[in-house]
């Protein structure tokens, strides 16, 4: 059902935790399945220099949270904002169709954190 990458990121999630002085915070949830995700970003010179997550949810939600932190770290804010839901799933070697909403949550959480950063800094969304 799940790829080896999904299982690895679920069992050994990367970048778990909270950034106390985060540049941006994104909170998203899916009321249907109960998954809740918070993404924290640290931005320096327009680069994501740190990213962490806290997720309450299924294995796929934890795995997508973990992988998106690896994909986004080191990218410019604009590059990170363009990470798509499909890119998240593809980076995990796919997700079962019934779990695709989990990749949506990770991508949406990152976008929400970036939008929060832009709002805090008076930056218009490109």
Task: Tell me the average pLDDT of the chain.
Answer: 93
Helix axes 59-72, 100-120, angle to 10 degrees: 50
Q: Which of 50-54, 102-106, 120-124 has the highest mean pLDDT?
A: 50-54
Q: Which residues pair with 44 in a beta bridge?
A: 47
* Confidence tier at 125 by pLDDT (50, 70, 90): confident
Note the pLDDT of residue 32: 77
Active-site amino acid positions: 33, 102
The answer to whether the CB of 39 falls within 8 A of the CB of 113 is yes
Read off the tokens for 3: 């790829």
Note the pLDDT of residue 96: 84
Note the pLDDT of residue 104: 84
Tens-digit pLDDT profile for residues 14-60: 999 999 999 999 999 987 778 899 999 999 999 999 999 999 988 88
What is the pTM assigned to this prediction? Answer: 0.94
pLDDT at 101 over 90: no
Q: Which domains does the chain have, with CATH numbers?
A: 4-120 (3.90.1010.10)
């Amino acid at each position: 059902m799940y790829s080896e990458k999904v299982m690895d990121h679920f069992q050994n999630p990367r970048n778990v935790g909270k950034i106390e002085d985060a540049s941006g915070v994104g909170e998203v949830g899916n009321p249907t399945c109960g998954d809740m995700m918070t993404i924290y970003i640290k931005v320096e010179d327009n680069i994501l220099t740190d990213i962490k997550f806290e997720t309450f949810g299924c294995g796929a939600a934890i795995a997508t949270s973990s992988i998106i932190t690896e994909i986004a770290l080191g990218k410019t804010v604009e590059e990170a904002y363009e990470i798509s839901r499909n890119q998240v799933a593809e980076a995990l070697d796919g997700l079962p169709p019934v779990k695709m909403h989990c990749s949506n949550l990770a991508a949406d959480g990152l976008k929400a954190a970036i939008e929060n950063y832009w709002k805090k800094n008076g930056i218009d969304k490109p």
